[in-house]
Structure 1
Amino acid sequence: MKYIRRHNCFSLLQKSLLSLLLIVCIVPAAFSQNNIIGVWEGKFLSPVLELGQPKLVVEIHDIKDSVFSGITHLYYEGNKYEHYKMYGLFNKKDSLLVFKESSTIAVDLGIYGNCLGTYMMSLKKDGNSMLQYGFWVSNIKGCSPTSNVWLKKKVEEMPKPAVPEKKQPIVKKPAVANKPATVNTATTPVIATVPEPAKNIPAIKTAPVILPAKISQRQTDVQSLLEIAAADKDSIKVDVYDNGEIDGDSVSVYEEGIVRVNKRMITAKPITFYVSLNKNVNPIAHLRLVAESLGSIPPCTALMIVTTKSKRYEVRLSSNFSKNATVELFLKE
């Protein structure tokens, strides 16, 4: 079997190391762990052969004590793709990330084989965006040449609220001796005081959704990835059942920070909800199955059936009190 070459062989590891060192020298800022969580999009920079230059999407789900996990996606011409689980380490002091593709979720490269690899990246901020520059190197020597890569993620910054103007202190005038009142026979018109219209105050964006501890403190274990065609992106039906023997498993299901199923016991009767995908708003949806109880036969197991206009997917999930079983819906462009 042939192995896909992600770029021309002239991009050597030594050159990539030098490039990364140069980038590190111009990145004085440090980033918090929350900065790196989210979806990053980019490309392999070097010219490629065979399947063309792939689009790269990296998801970072969880981070704890500088260790994180997530998924890498590569999309090629002709609807070819690679999807891998990964784990990594974040060096906050030097603004560096290293993450390694550890296992395969799904691959379709036609006649070509695939190579898992490791990303060595440096962080930089550019306006409202964060950038990663670095390189990818194969986990198996000689499987595929090293490739320079970049990634980008937008950062939503909350505007600072307007500071109200300080009121000027009222200075009392010294008392003046009363003079005899002078009667004026002319009628003095009464002028009503009209308050000034309130100035338009810009709306302040709400803070990002804070995930409950059951999500943020448990590992996100992506157990299935479903690619959804653009024609099927609306009103995707999701049914949740117990998988196998009914033993009293109770679950919650979250779509990002939104509760879709709240502490329900799963049985042979489906618990149903709907999700939709949007290229500009939510091209990726994470459905996290959170174990509320493990039933009489641990772990907590469930069957999730996802039905679109043209396809039906059956996904068997397993979760416990340390990890959340996750199904990812990914909108194909």
Structure 2
Amino acid sequence: MKRSMLKNSYIILIIGSVVLQQAAAQMITGVWRGKINRQKVELKIIQKGDSLRGTSYYYQSPNNYRRYSIKGFFDEPNNLAIWWDDELLEEKSGRTGLGSPGKEALRSEADFNCPGEGIMKLEGEANLKEDENRPKGEVHLDKTNQPSFYDEWDFVIENFTAGANDPYIIDSVGLIARHPVPVKTEKPVVFKPPVVKEKANPPPVVAVQPKAPPVSIAAPLTIEQKFAQRQKIPVLEIPIVGDSIELNFYDNAEIDGDSITLFLNNRLIFKHIYLTDKPFTVKLPVSELLQSNELVMVAENLGSIPPNTSFMVAYIGEKRYEARLESNEGSSAMIRFVKESER
């Protein structure tokens, strides 16, 4: 009898897990790619209650695009998504002369449908944002797992079902994302002096300075290179006991857009952690740890108020440990965890 009950419970758990995975897979939150008004588009949608937000990229190539912030809402009874280009955040012109995508802000309305086998589509129509009576073409978007353009919303999308669907996190990332890059709308006026005819006298000899060699611009460092090159500064050593340890990371001061990556024993375990006044929680099983372990916090950026600072609270057994971690472009904070059997 007990064996039968355990078997039934196990089956229920499996079914519940599958249902949760399917529900997560069929969310409108995610990356969508296709065409709107015959323009190539990558759309990042994040759902918060009934509202939608994120970014839209109208592009010809990775070097020729316009990026807008978007706002909208989801009509769940009719499975209808409605969004519009809210604010132009970034404009990048290419060299190919293939045209300039995304010149006009659009309002789109599309059915959210899942024909099956993991396929999800948004299909509908787009109009001018400022004149909804002027149709501007059709909407054909497919959900994809890998973005072509990377921005602040990637963290929320990647971790949406693991806690990043918290409205406070979504609002915080939205504030970070809303810093538009200045857009050049007109060419600068260049003053040209009038042409003066030279006299018959021969022109003076002008010494020509040799051209300086071109300056090479180094590619930005990857997070792995930052980890390898920066000095690791020990902050605290903590004894570990029990079955697991729980680590909570907060922004140490004013929330200013700090983001970090965590390395454990030289291995990347979490990246794009945006620090707020709510904890980002990491749980580590003690059985998988070494006798001596190094957890390194690498600053991905310095926020608007350098340096990058975080406040860590560790719960190990019945004890609580606190540490203020500081990282910058030259150093990373390091916490050492040591099993008590070795101490």
Please give the range of the TM-score, normalised by the shorter of the 2 chains: 0.3 to 0.5
Larger Rg: 1
The answer to which structure, 1 or 2, has the higher relative contact order (CA under 8 A, 6+ apart) is 1
TM-score under structure 2 length normalisation: 0.40
